[in-house]
Structure 1
Amino acid sequence: MRRDPARLPMRYLDSQGPRTPTREAWARDLVHPAGTKARTIARTPRDVLAGGASRRETAYAREAAMAARTSNGASAGDWRRFGERYGVLADQAAACTPAPAHRTPPLLIAHALATASTYRRQHLVRLSHEAQHDVSARLTLRDLSCSPAAVSAYHRDLVVMRHRARACLAELGSPGPFTALLHGDLDFFLRRASVWTREVLGATHGR
């Protein structure tokens, strides 16, 4: 049975007595997170860049909006947009954690699908399904997704994602220690999300 991630936070809110307008807004954020989209395997790069299709992206967007509601003058909608952009980049970085995860960044899979032949595309989609429960399929998917064309387009979009997140953050307020911390996170995600092409990966493993 799947657990409701909003259940415990909602119980805590209910334990705090009568709801204030801020608490009412938090409850809405928890129960009906805005921007949540159905997640599918065969997404295009544009789908991934649009965000809102993973639990991580949705969580960052929701939590940024909830935090903004505690500050006078802060726009929850604008902070939600930043949180989602932050989450999209974080999602790619999380997929690049060291073994034994062997995951493939969603954006890299999308670019691999976009640049593949019809037969290779069908094979990648099948591997994407199998990779959810099979380590061997995860390894094969990662390897086949790392074609030079897919990796080049993927890295280009990573830079675009960081730029969009930075631009969004710049619109939200003046520079400060917390802003610098968020910029540092974005830089870290970009580095962590980087991948090698199949040729370089093979040469490295052959040493």
Structure 2
Amino acid sequence: LHSGASGAGAWSAVVHCVGKMLRPTRGEALPDHAYPFKNVRHPAVTGQGGYLIWQSGAFIVFVLDSRLLQDTRPLGDFPLCRLLLSNDSNYPWFILVPRRADISEVFELSAQDQLQLWQETTTLSKILKDLFSADKLNVAALGNVVSQLHMHVIVRKRDDAAWPAPVWGKHQAVPYTDEAFAAIRERLKPVLTTDFRFEGE
């Protein structure tokens, strides 16, 4: 795939070329919740928020909704979900996005993926409650604006900007500085250790 390629042809070339490198040998089965790219990342895909994933017996491209890309900062990957931080420093607001194409509802996931999503949501929730001394966690999958399935895990405190109301639409977002984002990441590193890979590592 040359650097000037774009559009559907570029995506097709990425799927074909990387898919050939990663195609399982006869008798080998890759789990649908395997890490993105396993050992291969292609900039034409990852640069646009995309991953080549093994789903339902084939390699396909999973791409984050452009609004999620715009409004978040990436932290890394669980076996199933991409972990994002909402770019609003009013609240520690995390988002889990299952790396599955064309999914908008939890019941559309396979039974295995539903269990994995709940496990990752529960694991993250427990970590965040302790790490940020949360008074309450708001855990929800709405999708009225962004239909791509994603799970919000929001740390709430009695003195936060919107308490006790929901966080949506209450206050203008205050983006993280690079230093503040790095500090969040460093706080997570000692506790997000099981089956998690931080962005860029």
TM-score of the aligned structures, taking structure 1 as reference length: 0.27
Structure 1 or 2: larger helix share? Answer: 1
Structure 1 or 2: larger strand share? Answer: 2
TM-score of the aligned structures, taking structure 2 as reference length: 0.28
- Higher-Rg member (1/2): 1
